[in-house]
Structure 1
Amino acid sequence: MTKSPDQPWLKRLPILTILAVAALGAIYLRDYISFQALAENREALLAYRDANFVLTAGLFVLLYAVIVAFSLPGATVMTLTGGFLFATFPGALFNVTGATIGAVGIFLAARWGFGEQLGRKLEGSEGTVKKIKDGIDENQWSMLFLIRLIPAVPFFLANLIPAFLEVPLRRFVISTFLGIIPGAVVYTSVGAGLGEVFSRGESPDLGVIFEPHILLPILGLCALALLPVMLKAVRGKKGL
Structure 2
Amino acid sequence: MKRCARLAPILLILCAAVAGAVFLRDKLSFEALAEHRAVLLAYRDAHFLLASLGFVAVYVVIVALSLPGATVATLTGGFLFGMFPGTLYNVCAATIGAVCIFLAARAGFGAALAARLQAGSASRLQTALRENQWSALFIMRLVPALPFVLANLLPAMVGVRLWPFAATTFLGIIPGALVFTSIGVGLGEVFARGERPDLGVIFSAPVLLPLLGLAALSALPILLKQWKKGR
Same fold (TM over 0.5): yes
TM-score by length of 2: 0.99
Determine whether 1:123 maps to 2:118: yes
Match of 2:46 among 48, 51, 76: 51
Deviation at residue 90 of structure 1 after TM alignment: 1.0
2:225 equivalent in structure 1:
232
Aligned residues with identical type, % of pairs: 58
1:132 equivalent in structure 2:
125
CA RMSD of aligned residues (A): 0.7
Match of 1:216 among 204, 209, 230: 209
How many residues end up aligned between the 2 structures? 231
Matched position secondary structure for 1:27: helix
Structure 2 unaligned blocks of 5 or more: none
Aligned amino acid, residue 104 of structure 1: V
Aligned amino acid, residue 101 of structure 1: I
Structure 1 segment 24-103 matched on structure 2, within 5 A: 24-103=19-98
Match of 2:140 among 127, 135, 147: 147
Aligned amino acid, residue 64 of structure 1: Y
Distance 2:108 2:143 in 1: 27
Computing the radius of gyration from Cα coordinates, the structure with the larger value is 1
TM-score by length of 1: 0.95
Deviation at residue 88 of structure 1 after TM alignment: 1.3
Deviation at residue 94 of structure 1 after TM alignment: 0.2
Deviation at residue 35 of structure 1 after TM alignment: 0.4
Determine whether 1:178 maps to 2:178: no
- Per-residue deviation, residues 95-128 of structure 1 (Å, max 9, x unmatched): 01110111111110000000010010011113xx
Distance 2:11 2:17 in 1: 10
Deviation at residue 85 of structure 1 after TM alignment: 0.2
- Per-residue deviation, residues 172-220 of structure 1 (Å, max 9, x unmatched): 1101000000001100000000000011111000000011111111011
Matched position secondary structure for 2:67: coil
Structure 1 unaligned blocks of 5 or more: none
Distance 2:124 2:112 in 1: 18
Distance 1:20 1:38 in 2: 25
